[in-house]
Amino acid sequence: MVQQLPAIIVVTPLVASFVIFATGWRYKKPTYPLVIGVLAACLFSAAAILASVIKNGAIDYWLGGWKPPWGIAYRIDHLNAIMLVLISLLSLLTAIHAKKSIERELPERTTLFWSLFILLITGLLGICITGDLFNLFVLLEVASLSGYALIAMGEKKALYASFRYLVIGTIGASFYLLGVGYLYMATGSLNMADLAQLLPELYHSKMVLVGFAFIFFGLSIKMALFPMHVWLPDAYAYAPSAVSAVVAPLMTKVMAYVMIRVMFTVFKPEFSTVLFQVTDIMVWVGTFAILFGAIMALSQDDFKRMLTYVIVAEIGYIIGGVGVANAIALKGAVFHIVNDALMVACLFLVAGQIMYRTNGHRIDDFKGMFKTMPITAAIFTVGALAVIGVPPTCGFFSKWYLLLGGIEAGQWGFVAALLVCTLINIALFFRVFDKGLFTHTHGTVPVHANPAGNPNAGEAPLSMLIPAFSLAIVIVLVGVFNQTIVNHVIRFTIPPGF
C-alpha cells in the first residue's frame, strides 16, 4: 500500500472527479463529504511521501510496472514532495472554506464545481509528481481546462476573462508541447531522467536549443511572467472566491516548479547559466516583473485585483531568484514558491470571507473589518505581514535568502527591486489596514455604524474561519520552523553543480 501512494495520490482524485460528475446530479448530499475525504487522503499520502523522501531519499515509481523510458515513470524527490504537500494542503483547506461561499455564489452548480475542482487538483498533483515531459503536458491541460471552466463560473466579466485566459494559455501550452517535440526529435525520449542523460552531448545542437526556448517561453506564459501576464489579473479577480483561492496561489507556482524542474533536472544547470545564459535574462525579467507588479497593484481599487498583481510581482521574485543562479537564491526561490502559495491563498480566503459578508471584494468593503470581523482581520493581518515580509511570518525568510543570494551574486538591481517592492507592499496593505481599522468619524455620522450598510455584517461562519485561521497559523509556523524545512527539504532541491 505504502509503495503505491504515488499512484493513489493522482488516481483517487481523478476517479472521484468522474464519480461526482456521474452521480452528483442525483445524489447531491454525499458530494461534499466525498470531496473532503479524497482531499484529506491526498494530503495524507503527500505527507507520507514527503516523510519517506526525507527518510529514504527519492522515490521511483513505474506506473503499471512499465519500465522507463517506455512507461510513465514518477520520480519524487524533495522538490516534488513538498509541492505535493503544498497542493494537497491548500486544496483541502480551500475546499472546507468553499462550502459556504459556493452555496452562495454558485447555488445551481455545486456538483459541477466540485467535479471540476477535484479534476483541477488532479492535474496539479499530476504535474508535480510525473517524471515524463509529455505526461506533464497532458496533466497541464487537465489542470488548465478545468481551470478555464472554473474561472468562467465567476462574476459577469469572468466569461470574457476566462476566454482570454483560454486562448493565451493554449498558446503557452502549445509552445511547451512544441519544445517537448523538439527534444523528442533530438533524443527519442520523453522521460526526464533519461533526457538528463542523453542531452548533455547534444547541448550545442540547434534543435535542443530551440526546444528549450519553446519550453521556456511556453512556461513563462503559463506562469504569467511579466510581460506575458496580461491574462492573469482579470481571470483571477473575477473567478468565484473559492476558485481564486486555489487557482491563484497554485497554478503559477506549479508552473514555476516545472520551470525549475526543466532547467535543473532535465537540463544541467550549466546549460542555462553558462551555455545558453538564460539566467541573466531571468534576473532582469524578474526585476521588471517585481517592479511592474508592485506598481500596478498600487493602482487597484479592488482587493482581488490587487492581489493578482501581487502574484505577478511574486513570480518575479521566484524567477529572479532562479536567475541569480546561486545556491542561496535558489533556496530562496524554492522556499518562496511554498511561502507565496501559502500567503496568497490566505489572503484570497480572506477575500472570500469579506465577499461572503459584504458581497464585494473592493478595498472599501474592508471598512470596519477589525470591528465587525475581528478574526478575519487577524487572519488578514498575518497574510498581509507575510507578503510584506515581516518576521516571524514565512515571507520574511524566503525574502532573506533571495536578498542574500542577490548580494552574493552582486545583482544589485534585483536586490533593489525586492526592497522597493517591500515598501510598495507596505503601502498596499496599510491602505487596507486603514480601511479596516479606522471607522471613527468626527462628523455627525454615528461612530461604528454598520460599515457597508449590509444586513449580513458580522464574523464569517466557522467553516470559513477554521481553514483560514489554520492557514494563518501554518504561515507563522513555517516561518518559525523555517530552518527545519530548509535543512530537511529545501537544501536537497538545489541541483548538484551549484
Partner 1 sequence: MPDAFSITYRPVWAIIWPTLVALFILFTGKRPNIRESGTLLGSLALCLTVLSMTPVVLKNGPIQFSVFDLFPGIDFAFRVDALGLIFATTSSCLWILVSIYSIGYMRTLKEHAQTRFYFSFAVALLGAIGIAFAANLVTMFIFYEILTISTYPLVAHEESPEAISAGHKYLAYLLTGGVFFLIATLVTYFLVGTTDFSYHGILGPALDTTSGVTLQVVFFFFLIGFAKAAWMPLHSWLPSAMVAPTPVSALLHAVAVVKAGVFGIIRIVCHIYGIDLMQALGLGVVLAGIAAVTIVIANFYAIGQNNLKRLLAYSTINQLSFIILGVALLSPMSVTGALLHIPFHGFMKITLFLCAGAITAITGIKTISDMNGIGRVLPITLGAFVIGAFGMCGAPPLAGFISKWHVALGAVESGQLFFLIIICAGSLLDVVYFFPVIRTAFFAKMPASETLETDLEPKVELYTEKIPVVEYEQPLYLFMVIPLAITAVFSIVYCLFPNTFGIYALAQMAVKNTFGGM
Q: By C-beta, is 78 or 97 nearer to partner 1? A: 78
Amino acid at 135: N
Q: By C-beta, is 248 or 390 nearer to partner 1? A: 390
Question: Residue 496 and residue 40: Cα distance in Å, rounded?
Answer: 34
Question: Cα–Cα distances in Å, from 178 out to 144, 390, 464?
Answer: 17, 42, 43
Closest distance of CB 97 from partner 1, Å = 24
Q: By C-beta, is 207 or 404 nearer to partner 1? A: 404
Closest distance of CB 311 from partner 1, Å = 22
Beta strand 73-76 with 59-62: parallel, antiparallel or unpaired? antiparallel
Question: Residue 35 and residue 21: Cα distance in Å, rounded?
Answer: 12
Element (H or E) spanning 72, and its range? none
**Cβ proximity of 88 and 46 under 8 Å:** yes
Closest distance of CB 360 from partner 1, Å = 23
Q: By C-beta, is 258 or 385 nearer to partner 1? A: 385
**Cβ proximity of 216 and 183 under 8 Å:** no
Q: By C-beta, is 40 or 407 nearer to partner 1? A: 407
Q: By C-beta, is 54 or 375 nearer to partner 1? A: 375
Residues in a beta bridge with 59: 76
Q: By C-beta, is 80 or 422 nearer to partner 1? A: 422
Closest distance of CB 370 from partner 1, Å = 8
Residues in a beta bridge with 133: none
Closest distance of CB 408 from partner 1, Å = 6
**Cβ proximity of 266 and 194 under 8 Å:** no
Element (H or E) spanning 127, and its range? helix 110-129
Question: Cα–Cα distances in Å, from 39 out to 5, 25, 32?
Answer: 14, 21, 11
- In the block, cell 530562496 appears at 332
| C-beta neighbour count of 22 within 10 angstroms | 10
Residues in a beta bridge with 62: 73
Helix ranges restricted to H, 359-411: 369-372, 374-388, 394-409
Closest distance of CB 455 from partner 1, Å = 24
Q: By C-beta, is 355 or 403 nearer to partner 1? A: 403
Q: What is the DSSP string of 259-274?
A: HHHIIIIIS-HHIIII
Closest distance of CB 396 from partner 1, Å = 8
3-state secondary structure at position 74: strand
Q: By C-beta, is 13 or 436 nearer to partner 1? A: 436
Closest distance of CB 439 from partner 1, Å = 8
- In the block, cell 507565496 appears at 340
Nearest alpha-carbon partner for 217 in 278, 296, 287 = 278
Closest distance of CB 391 from partner 1, Å = 4
Q: Which residues have C-beta within 8 Å of that of residue 140, sequence separation ≥ 6? A: 123, 127, 173, 176, 222, 258
Is the dihedral angle over the CA atoms 179, 263, 267, 132 positive or is it negative? negative
Closest distance of CB 425 from partner 1, Å = 10
Q: By C-beta, is 201 or 434 nearer to partner 1? A: 434
Closest distance of CB 400 from partner 1, Å = 7
The dihedrals phi and psi of 472, each to the nearest 5 degrees, come to: -60, -40
Q: Which residues have C-beta within 8 Å of that of residue 308, sequence separation ≥ 6? A: 232, 233, 236, 237, 248
Site of interaction with partner 1 (CB under 8 A): 370, 385, 390-392, 397, 400, 403-404, 407-408, 415, 419, 422-423, 426, 430, 433-434, 437-442, 447, 480-483
Dig out the grid coordinates for 49 from the structure: 511521501
Q: By C-beta, is 281 or 426 nearer to partner 1? A: 426
Closest distance of CB 385 from partner 1, Å = 8
Q: By C-beta, is 267 or 433 nearer to partner 1? A: 433
